[in-house]
Amino acid sequence: MDMSSINSSLCKLSLLQRKQPDDFSSLDQVTNALRDAGLESRNLILGIDFTKSNAWTGEVSFNGESLHAIGDTENPYEKAISVIGKTLAPFDDDNSIPCFGFGDSTTHDQKVFSFHNDHSPCHGFEEVLACYKDVVPNLGLSGPTSYGPVIDAAVDIVENSGGQFHVLVIIADGQVNFNPSVSLVSVHICLYVILVLQFSILFSFWLIMKITRSNNPGHEELSSQEARTIKSIVDASSHALSIVLVGVGDGPWEDMKKFHDKIPVRDFDNFQFVNFTEIMSNNKSQSKKEIEFALAALMGIPLQYKATIELGLLGHQTGRARKMVPCPPPLLYASRPQGLDSEPSDISSSTVDVSAQVCPICITNVRDLALGCGHLTCRECGPKVSNCPICRKRITSHLRLFP
């Protein structure tokens, strides 16, 4: 592509960016406008978040159901996949879509699993949805959340393709997980007594911490998951890859909106976040909401594609991509003998007992810090968050618990 063609496309993109969703009457019009602005045939990669927080971040947006609940009504992930399919399918070269899951009990924050045992891609979004529905009933939501592994897997695909341009779409609730089945009645009673007895000490401690944090705004350190994700995004900017994170569920999404500022200088701006729930909750027709989502998700891709051309990334292999071998899909119970149907419930119960003891943020340390709302975290994670990860109330106090 010569410079005049690039400049022409940039002018068309500038005009497109001034348009509003109401300027379009169909997704086909959006597709044609994006193609005219320079978004040509591209290869798609899909990543799905299976962290445990999906079990509770549908409290408001999905009537209290798990975001991965499979039933007569489409869950938020199915809706997002369907809309993405309508929007992006026309740009896919061969209708082959590598699909990965992450954050479940087999991958945690270290690996990804493929939707097929042989790691082959899905063919079309209908197969993506079919495989998704097959996988969900047979996996265990876990965590913690890190986008690093799925980004690394996408970079590996780009490298193996000889540097062809790809778009990685990650659909995620963006939150750390917790165990929704834990009863907190007894905890509230004990905490009430403890808080009354130690209120003065606790308030003094909280006040000192508040003053200290106010005077040291840069003191907060990144979690290992954030650090891994940021490193993967930076590394990916050396490849012909655009990353779109689609947020589903209740959020809160304030931290994700600020996440972009935490990412250091890259070869090009390769990451964008789109709040799917916010767009789909607007008081508009379904078609208008789909158009708004399509524009938000795809507007930056033509410019990113041009950047990969100008930087010489398109068609280039770096030799530095991290080799990622996906795990097989977690269909552990799908092929179990009929006589063992009762065993999964025992395993699930055991998992609940274990997870009830660990911090809902890091899913590693024991719960030994009480928040003012009555929920528990560990001493390392609690001071790093401003809102309770469970009820989302503002944290006004912390109380260390001792065995």
Half-sphere exposure (Cβ direction) of 18: Cα atoms closer than 13 Å? 5
The sheet with strand 369-371 has its strands ordered as 376-377, 369-371, 398-400
Q: What is the structure's pLDDT at 236?
A: 97
CB 168, CB 246: distance < 8 Å: no
Which single residue is written with the structure tokens 């106010």?
Answer: 214
Q: Are residues 232 and 371 in the same domain?
A: no
Say what the pTM is. 0.72
Q: What is the mean pLDDT of each run of 10 residues along the chain (403 residues)?
A: 55 58 74 72 90 89 93 94 84 86 95 95 95 93 92 97 95 59 40 48 47 42 86 96 95 76 87 93 90 86 88 93 93 41 38 58 80 86 79 81 72
Q: What is the structure's pLDDT at 86?
A: 84
Structure tokens at 112: 């990804």
CATH number, domain at 120?
3.40.50.410
Q: Is 237 domain-assigned? A: yes
Q: What is the structure's pLDDT at 403?
A: 62
Q: What is the structure's pLDDT at 325?
A: 94
Q: Are residues 15 and 157 in the same domain?
A: yes
- 210 — phi, psi (to 5°)? -65, -45
- Which residue range(s) make up the domain with 355? 190-221+345-400
Q: Is 356 domain-assigned? A: yes
Q: What is the structure's pLDDT at 156?
A: 97
Q: Are residues 19 and 75 in the same domain?
A: yes
Q: Cα separation of 142 and 93, whole Å? A: 34
Q: Is 204 domain-assigned? A: yes
The 10 Å Cβ neighbour count of residue 155 is 27
Q: Are residues 55 and 148 in the same domain?
A: yes
**How many distinct structural domains can be found in the chain?**
2
Q: Are residues 45 and 65 in the same domain?
A: yes
- Examine the fold and report which residue of 265, 283, 310 is the final residue of a domain before the chain moves on: 310
Q: Cα separation of 66 and 16, whole Å? A: 37
CATH number, domain at 379?
3.30.40.10
